[in-house]
Amino acid sequence: MRLFLKKITHPFLKLGLQYYYFKPRNYCYQDICIQVHPDVFPPQMTFSTKILLDFVNTIDLKDKKFLELGCGSGIISLLASKKEAKVTASDINQKALDFLEKNATQNQLEVQTVFSDLFQNLNGQTFDCMVINPPYYPREPKNIKEQAWFCGEDFKFFEKLFVQLPHFLKETQCFMILSQDCDLEKIKAIATKNAIAFELVLEKKELVETNYIFRIVSS
């Protein structure tokens, strides 16, 4: 995990990312094509978004209420909408939500965007299905762009998330993607403290990185 943290904070990689992301870039999944703002999590730079897209593609979402918590580019939300779900996409990055609205119009898909720190502005709504691709590197984010990667030195994102999540788990199928690059044991320990358990539903190795999709359930 430290190695990867070094990788994503390495000056050359940072410079490379800055160079590539000096302007919005295109990203497509099937026939859904979007523009991703430089301040938004880049779906083409990691494996997690693509793995979640392939996974969501296998779920029957017709007429289901679907939430992508921390939607970033929102490509997963757009796929869920294409699969006829009623979609809510939330994030604390307003730029991400603005771009998602434009991308939804351009793809003729419907998504309700909500600016929200975790569940704060979701007004107690319930969902049939929820997906989360969380920030998981333990470092304090310095700006909105870094909130996509860093969960806080003390894993604050997970501490808050796992306090709020149990209210939803009765009605909601909740899926979270994590990677071998993160401190899985620490994240699971925070979950356990809040009576939450992880059930492995998918393990996928891409090049040197293994990703896991967990179903999050009450323990």
Interface ranges with ligand SAM (CB under 6 A): 41, 43, 48-49, 52, 68, 70-73, 76, 90-93, 96, 117-118, 133, 135, 147-148, 157
Q: Which is nearer to ligand SAM, 106 or 219 (CB)?
A: 106
Q: Which is nearer to ligand SAM, 114 or 196 (CB)?
A: 114
Using alpha carbons only, how large is the chain's radius of gyration in Å?
16
Concatenate the DSSP letters of all residues of 65-103 into one string.
Answer: EEEEES-TT-HHHHHHHHTT-EEEEEES-HHHHHHHHHH
DSSP three-state, residue 130: strand
> Residue 131 in contact with residue 78, Cβ under 8 Å?
no
Beta bridge partner(s), residue 28: 33
Minimum distance, C-beta of residue 62 to ligand SAM, in the bound complex (Å): 22
Q: Which is nearer to ligand SAM, 91 or 181 (CB)?
A: 91
Minimum distance, C-beta of residue 137 to ligand SAM, in the bound complex (Å): 10
Minimum distance, C-beta of residue 67 to ligand SAM, in the bound complex (Å): 11
Minimum distance, C-beta of residue 217 to ligand SAM, in the bound complex (Å): 21
Question: In a 10 Å sphere around its CB, with 0-12 CB exposed, 13-18 middle and 19+ buried, how is residue 185 labelled?
Answer: exposed
Q: Which is nearer to ligand SAM, 125 or 219 (CB)?
A: 125
β-pairing, 196-206 with 209-218? antiparallel
> Residue 210 in contact with residue 204, Cβ under 8 Å?
yes
Q: Which is nearer to ligand SAM, 129 or 148 (CB)?
A: 148
Distance of alpha carbon 176 from alpha carbon 153, whole angstroms: 20
Minimum distance, C-beta of residue 187 to ligand SAM, in the bound complex (Å): 14
Q: Which is nearer to ligand SAM, 48 or 196 (CB)?
A: 48
Distance of alpha carbon 143 from alpha carbon 39, whole angstroms: 10
